[in-house]
Amino acid sequence: MLTDLLANDILMTMFGYLKSGWYILLVLIGFGFIIFVHELGHFLAARMVGIKVETFAIGFGPRLFGFRRGETDYRIALLPFGGYVKMLGQEDFTLDHDRLDKTKVDPASFLAKTPGQRMLVVSGGVFMNIIFAIIGFIIVFMNGLDFPAPVAGDIMPNSPAERAGFAPGDKFIAVNGHRVLNFNEIMLAVALSDPDSPLDFEIERNGKILHKIVRPIYNPDSQLRQIGIAGAGSLKVWGSAAGLKDGDIIVQVGNVKPKLFSSVEKVIKQAEGKPVTLIVERKVDGKNKKVKVVKRAHLVLYAEPMSFPPTEEDLKEQKTEAYKEPAILGLVPRRKFLGELTLKDASKSKAPLIQKGDIIIRIGNILNPTGRQIQSYLEKLRGKQAKLEVLRGGKRIEVVLPVPKNDFEFNYVFGQMIFDEDNTVVADVLKGTPAADLKIPSGARIIACDGKEVSNWFEIIDYFKAHRGKAVRLTWVFGDKKYSGTMKIPADGKWLSQIDYTIDFITYPLTTKIVGKYPHQAILLGLRQTWYIIKMAYVTIQRVAFTHTIGAKQISGPIFIIHKGKEIAESGLYKLIYYLALISANLAVINFLPIPAVDGGLILILLVEKIRGKGLSPKITAIWQAVGISLLIALLLFVTYNDISKLINGQ
């Protein structure tokens, strides 16, 4: 039996690798086809004006295989990233044209043609990439593709969106008079907005058309301009979470029949830890049945209120050891695990692993550790295993936690360590806070407020809220003895902004299907999308290079593009076609830039030649090409570093 299970596990692992390899191969084939289309543009344009093409290559380096037809060698080269068309006389492009003996130039040579004809040949690849993008988008929109709906979801507190009066459920129609079709276009409009001008949002709310004027703010953390608004979630549950199953449709929460996930979230959060009944529609044995599920919010504490977006000072403060621990007027609850951890490294562990609800009572030599202590301890063990002692069902158990290396998985693990809201055990009391003078020891359990019994932190918070500006007497147990002391609850209520609530499940994004019902509609959508992508690409370059309102870390290279392409390929053929069309449109933009070593740089040289009536000197042209190659190498190194950083951090 054991050998059967091991064999099955090995087969499943091999199947997973083969499946991933297949999707990567699909992406590489797609990229290869984009390159083929680009070079085909040069080839067709060259033949159109009568230039002899000696080589048509997909890839660079040594020839792997191919065939010769007529005067052209069609080949596949070793390195698949790129390609080229070798035309007769193209190697003489850097020569001084005034010194060329026109009588010796082959009429079928690149140099024998006029600057206008050569510009047509050089720009042929760009035009073909645009045509490929148009055709790709048309194919996609003929079938239809789901996009995030242009509907507002959560509105961040203290954000520009909240100050402008946005509300969950607002439907976006246009930004600065330009119609938007999905939520991605809204976020792009915000990210690429002019720093000196506000945005005019046209929205629909309850059948009425409204205008909201918003000035986005630059977020130094994400390196993007933002307004603090998220896309809407649907009512279809994503994943499984304590009573809920993937695919459940939420039809009621409390007494509310929601339309969006934000309504569900709002009702549960407003209950502040009290149970809320959900009614969901679930498929059971092929039939839809209504099932009741009880959910409640979990406690979230902030070390201190932060601005939106976080300032440089906020971000700097977060990285220091002195950053305060999240607490309730100085009282720090213990931590527990929200759910089981299914990490890639978990299979290597021989000791018991983390289970849902495990309460962390020791890590290393630290008893009842705070969140900050846990995080600092785990930081030193990245890529290794940490030993923890947890309380599970009243029993103390030693468990092993594989500590991930990359930031994304590390933050996910730490994010699973929520506050132990059901047990009023104090992990620590912070100095300089209302609770500091009580001197409650770590591990003590609070049992009463002014003699009224409390069984969880929600009840303590409720009592503190009701007694703002008053003194409250706390009673706690430590060891076998009872103790008590008095603390003053601040009257201003500012501390309440450090207390929040969250829920332990999410839903699928609300989507809208963009489809051309008739061929002409799909064609118009394809043309519109190609123009939109090209326009946004130019604006993005301007924002990165000149206004610096988009951080350079947003730029991706081939490694990350292939990585994302694999994920997209797994989602379906039409999503992959859309992605390749998007890449093709962006490639057209990059190739048409007036910089050395790309098609746009060659067109610029030819334009100068046409205006001057003669070509540039060999020295100037050589310098121009050398600068271009150096820039491309530097850019490739930079984007490769960016790509590797993103992959290491699990993005």
Residues 257-269 have pLDDT tens digits of: 999 999 999 999 9
Assign 14 a pLDDT band (cuts: 50, 70, 90). very low
**Strand pairing partners for 489?**
none
User: For residues 250 and 239, is the Cβ–Cβ distance under 8 A?
Assistant: no
User: For residues 591 and 598, is the Cβ–Cβ distance under 8 A?
Assistant: yes
The residue type of 104 is K
CA-atom Rg of the chain in angstroms: 31
Q: What share of the chain is helix, strand, coil (3-state, %, to 5)?
A: 40, 30, 30
* pLDDT tens, residue by residue, 170-207: 999 999 999 999 999 999 899 888 888 899 999 999 99
Cα angle vertex 177, ends 171, 181, to 5°?
45
Nearest to 413 by CA among 390, 392, 382, 367: 382
User: Region 202-226: what's the mean pLDDT?
Assistant: 88
DSSP string, 257-305: --SSHHHHHHHHHHTTTS-EEEEEEEEETTEEEEEEEEE--EEEE-SS-
pLDDT at position 156 is 87
pLDDT at position 553 is 63
Q: How many CB atoms lie within 10 A of CB 556?
A: 15
Considering Cα of 252, then 254, then 258, then 263, what sign does the dihedral take?
Answer: negative
Residue 156, helix vs strand vs coil: coil
Cα angle vertex 572, ends 568, 574, to 5°?
95
* pLDDT tens, residue by residue, 508-528: 999 999 999 899 999 999 999
- The answer, yes or no, to whether residue 133 has pLDDT greater than 60, is yes
User: For residues 620 and 97, is the Cβ–Cβ distance under 8 A?
Assistant: no
* pLDDT tens, residue by residue, 543-602: 777 777 666 666 655 555 655 666 777 778 888 899 899 889 988 988 888 877 778 888
Interatomic CA distance for residues 575 and 137, integer angstroms: 10
Number of Cα atoms under 13 Å in the Cβ half of residue 561: 19
* pLDDT tens, residue by residue, 275-334: 999 999 998 888 889 999 999 999 999 887 555 666 666 555 555 443 468 999 999 999
The residue type of 620 is I
pLDDT at position 116 is 87
pLDDT at position 400 is 87
- The answer, yes or no, to whether residue 345 has pLDDT greater than 80, is no
Residues annotated catalytic, as ranges: 39
pLDDT at position 333 is 96
Interatomic CA distance for residues 78 and 314, integer angstroms: 50
Could you give phi then psi for residue 2, rounded to 5 degrees?
A: -65, -40
Structure-model confidence comparison of residues 139 and 645, the more confident one: 139
| Strand (E) or helix (H) holding 147 | strand 145-148
Q: Do the bridges between strand 171-175 and strand 178-179 make them parallel or antiparallel, or are there none, so unpaired?
A: antiparallel
CATH pick for 337-416 out of 2.30.42.10, 3.30.1360.200, 3.10.20.30, 2.40.37.10: 2.30.42.10
Ranges for all domains in the chain classified under CATH 2.30.42.10:
337-416, 426-489
Spell 22-32 as b/e; 16+ CB within 10 A means b.
Answer: ebeebbeebbb
- The answer, yes or no, to whether residue 344 has pLDDT greater than 60, is no
Assign 460 a pLDDT band (cuts: 50, 70, 90). very high
User: pTM of the prediction?
Assistant: 0.77
Interatomic CA distance for residues 261 and 441, integer angstroms: 41
pLDDT at position 550 is 67
Residues 6+ apart with CB under 8 A from 49: 113, 117, 120, 121
* Tokens read off for 624: 């121009």
Bond into 309 cis (ω within 30) = yes
- The answer, yes or no, to whether residue 92 has pLDDT greater than 70, is no
- The answer, yes or no, to whether residue 615 has pLDDT greater than 60, is yes
Interatomic CA distance for residues 195 and 217, integer angstroms: 8
User: For residues 74 and 66, is the Cβ–Cβ distance under 8 A?
Assistant: yes
* Fold type of domain 426-489: Pdz3 Domain (2.30.42)
Assign 11 a pLDDT band (cuts: 50, 70, 90). very low
Nearest to 601 by CA among 587, 612, 590: 590
Interatomic CA distance for residues 587 and 525, integer angstroms: 20
Interatomic CA distance for residues 51 and 48, integer angstroms: 8
pLDDT at position 151 is 95
* Tokens read off for 57: 């290559």
DSSP symbol at 552: G
Considering Cα of 449, then 454, then 459, then 460, what sign does the dihedral take?
Answer: positive
